[in-house]
A and B are shown apart, each in its own frame.
Chain A
Amino acid sequence: MLLPATPDPKHLRPRIQRIQEELFNYREQGLRGFATSSFQSNSVVLLHLIARFWPTLPVWFLNTGFHFPETLSFRRGLAVRFGLDIRDARSPVSRAQQRDASGRLLFTTDPDHCCHLNKVLPLDPVIAAAQLWINGVRASQSAERAAMAREGTGRGGIRRYHPLIDWTGAEVEHYLNGHDLPRHPLEEQGYGSVGCEPCTRRPAGGDLDDRSGRWSGQNKTECGLHVGGGS
């Protein structure tokens, strides 16, 4: 287990204590669990908590093939630093088969289908083989996420656990600063939420709650991974 070098920020301690207990209970029940992470600054809190309280938990990274190289390097650096079991989920559909009728990659004409092939589909076998899915969605990030509870049910009836659902962007900042944790390298260039390169724009003055750079200019706000299934 990776022990924090510094104590948790005081006002966050009760919540961290609760997460520790909840994770302990899931483990006690013998649930086959996994986490997903998009390896942004936001994600570092959950990854750090997993390293502290459930270090053997598999963490799946949806390697869509369209990430910024900075994200891919950040993922590798965190895997080493936190000693986590990070695995890549990739689309079963070859990139060459992900082109539209005019030969263009799907993100140029049908981003929903692109997300389906590269984010939703690759996780299906992982979900099918597990009983608990832990992820770091927060209510303050979007209307869809605000409607989620701490526990819910996801696709295929899997149990979902959202330990950070009630955390604000400022609290994430406190945790990151309190433990001197690394930030996604694009943050200093003004990026807030970082997803796939083709569908991420640099918002003006983004913070950790700001997802306006994701699918910017589109009505789309979620990839489909966290919606559907009654969560």
Chain B
Amino acid sequence: MRVLITGGAGYLGTELVRALARAPEVDEVVVYDNLSRRNYNLMLGPPLSEGRDTRIRLVVADVLDTRRLRAALDGVDVVIHLAARVTTPFAEGDFHALEQVNHWGTAELSYALEERRGSVRRLIHLSSTAVYGQSEGEATLDTAPTPATAYGISKLRGERMVERLGSDLDLFLVRCGNIYGYSRSLRFDAVINRFLLDAHLGRRITVEGSGEQRRAFVHVDRAAAAISRMALGELEPGRFHLLDRNLSVLEIRDALLQLYPDLESLYIAQDLPRRSLIVAPDPRLAGPLPPLAEELAAFRTHFSFD
């Protein structure tokens, strides 16, 4: 089986490459990435897959590069589409930049797949819980998306572009929460990672708003494991929620306080109400879930000094 991962050199992509390159049924993992974040960690450090790294091939190209994208799909059985512009949960970016990649980049991929109807048999499309905007109650897979941010809108438009391919291939439409946890390609603009770094370095975190706002979160290892199962055909296609739990900023702070009892919290605009989003975890992806503080303690061991 040949798997192509767009955005495969990114945070989640790196862990997914690691998981798939170890799978005996995978002959090649094609990492299709424009390296726009200047993160080269996929290629650095110890081997990812115990002697199987020769099965990893990097194509440095943009998802909007129609010609290279089409060529890269030669002989590919499974596509995992991670390439995206991402914002952190609490920030808005340039609307067009989000649209360009998340909507039109996904559109380019959809045309390439449409043209090769029958060759790529499975598509895993990474969307976001941001398509729900905010919720009064818990958003389920039946909840109509009402995105509240430019990022959420661009991700929903991307979904619509691949949904139309559902009769051509097995489509996994995955609405993913905010990712956290150690990876050699990790990002420190993800809120839990940022807090851990700030707590570790300066014993001080900054909370915007009241801190009661909630979001859906998933550990990078569990996200990679779930997507890997989809890629290997261990799950039936469909729409998925990929998250471990919903947490408020204050609950994240409480977990950090267990590791750093002298941690201080600074509040900015704490009277400002911030929207919350609570998303129902997907029973098809359920598994053992360690306490957050335990996971953060494991993450902490990767810091080289205190």
Interface residues, chain A, with chain B CB atoms under 8 Å away = 63, 65-66, 69, 72-73, 90, 94-96, 103-105, 108
Residues of B within 8 A of A73 (CB): 164
Chain B: residues with Cβ within 8 Å of the partner, total of: 17
Residues of A within 8 A of B66 (CB): 65, 90, 94-96
Report the separation of the CA atoms of residues A66 and B97 in the bound assembly, to the nearest whole angstrom.
15
With an 8 A cutoff between CB atoms, is B57 at the interface?
Answer: no
Docked-complex contact B163 and A69, CB < 8 angstroms: yes
Min distance, Cβ B64 to any Cβ of chain A, angstroms: 4
Question: A72-B164, A94-B66 known; A65 and B96 CB under 8 Å?
Answer: no
Report the separation of the CA atoms of residues A47 and B119 in the bound assembly, to the nearest whole angstrom.
30
Report the separation of the CA atoms of residues A63 and B68 in the bound assembly, to the nearest whole angstrom.
18
Question: A65-B104, A105-B96 known; A96 and B64 CB under 8 Å?
Answer: yes
Residues of B within 8 A of A90 (CB): 66, 111
Report the separation of the CA atoms of residues A103 and B36 in the bound assembly, to the nearest whole angstrom.
13
Docked-complex contact A94 and B67, CB < 8 angstroms: yes
Docked-complex contact B96 and A95, CB < 8 angstroms: no
Closest chain A residue to B105, Cβ basis: A95
Report the separation of the CA atoms of residues A100 and B107 in the bound assembly, to the nearest whole angstrom.
19
Question: A95-B104, A105-B100, A108-B96 known; A69 and B164 CB under 8 Å?
Answer: yes
Min distance, Cβ B165 to any Cβ of chain A, angstroms: 10
Docked-complex contact B104 and A105, CB < 8 angstroms: yes
Residues of A within 8 A of B107 (CB): 65-66
Residues of A within 8 A of B62 (CB): 96
A69 is contacted by which of B64, B68, B161 (Cβ under 8 Å)?
B161
Q: Which of A66, A69, A104 has most chain B Cβ within 10 Å? A: A69
Docked-complex contact A95 and B108, CB < 8 angstroms: yes
With an 8 A cutoff between CB atoms, is B160 at the interface?
Answer: yes
Interface residues of B in 54-85 (CB under 8 A from A): 62, 64-68
Min distance, Cβ A220 to any Cβ of chain B, angstroms: 19
A-B contact pairs, 19 of them (CB 8 A): A63-B111, A65-B66, A65-B107, A65-B111, A66-B104, A66-B107, A69-B161, A72-B164, A73-B164, A90-B111, A94-B65, A94-B66, A95-B64, A95-B66, A96-B65, A104-B96, A104-B100, A105-B104, A108-B96
Residues of A within 8 A of B68 (CB): 94
Report the separation of the CA atoms of residues A108 and B100 in the bound assembly, to the nearest whole angstrom.
11
Given contacts A65-B66, A94-B66, 16 further A-B contacts (CB under 8 A): A63-B111, A65-B104, A65-B107, A69-B163, A69-B164, A73-B164, A94-B64, A94-B67, A94-B68, A95-B104, A96-B64, A96-B66, A103-B97, A104-B96, A105-B96, A105-B100
